[in-house]
Amino acid sequence: YSIGGQTLPHLAQWAIDKFGIDPSRDPKIPELPKTFAESRLPESIRLELEEIAEVSIDGMDRLIRAHGQTLKDMAQLRTNSFPRIPDAVIWPDSHEQVEQIVACASRHNFVIIPFGGGT
């Protein structure tokens, strides 16, 4: 592109003037939520899953796994505006546990969304 590799000495000042940016001011970062929507996972299914693997319905565990790393995800995280977070987080330790979780989901007709390393 036409400005590729060029030094743009006035760009920072232009952005400051154009957008009213104060680079000396720390950004206001909102606190994470203290309350979360209740998990809608029925207790009977949670207990069944707990027989298979570690399960959490803790709000923060659920929030951490409710987003990826896109700009939209970061904006939602900064504004605490996630429309919905998972009802539970499950940590299987083996292929067999994953198979049992999938079978449980099939029996009870609930959705599983795999979450890896978070990137």
CATH number of the domain encompassing residue 102: 3.30.43.10
Q: Which residue has the higher pLDDT, 51 or 116?
A: 51
**33 belongs to a structural domain:** no
**27 belongs to a structural domain:** no
Tens digits of residue pLDDT in 82-93? 888 999 999 999
**118 belongs to a structural domain:** no
In this prediction, residues 38-62 reach a mean pLDDT of 97
**10 belongs to a structural domain:** no
pLDDT at 119 over 60: no
Q: Are 49 and 43 in contact (CB under 8 A)?
A: no
Q: How confident is the model at residue 77 (pLDDT cuts 50, 70, 90)?
A: confident
Residue 56, classed as helix, strand or coil, is strand
pLDDT at 116 over 90: no
**99 belongs to a structural domain:** yes
**4 belongs to a structural domain:** no
Q: How confident is the model at residue 69 (pLDDT cuts 50, 70, 90)?
A: confident
Print the domain residue range for 53: 41-111
Task: Look up residue 21 and give its two tokens.
Answer: 């940016």
Q: How confident is the model at residue 106 (pLDDT cuts 50, 70, 90)?
A: very high
**93 belongs to a structural domain:** yes
Give the number of domains in the chain.
Answer: 1
Q: Which residue has the higher pLDDT, 114 or 103?
A: 103
**7 belongs to a structural domain:** no
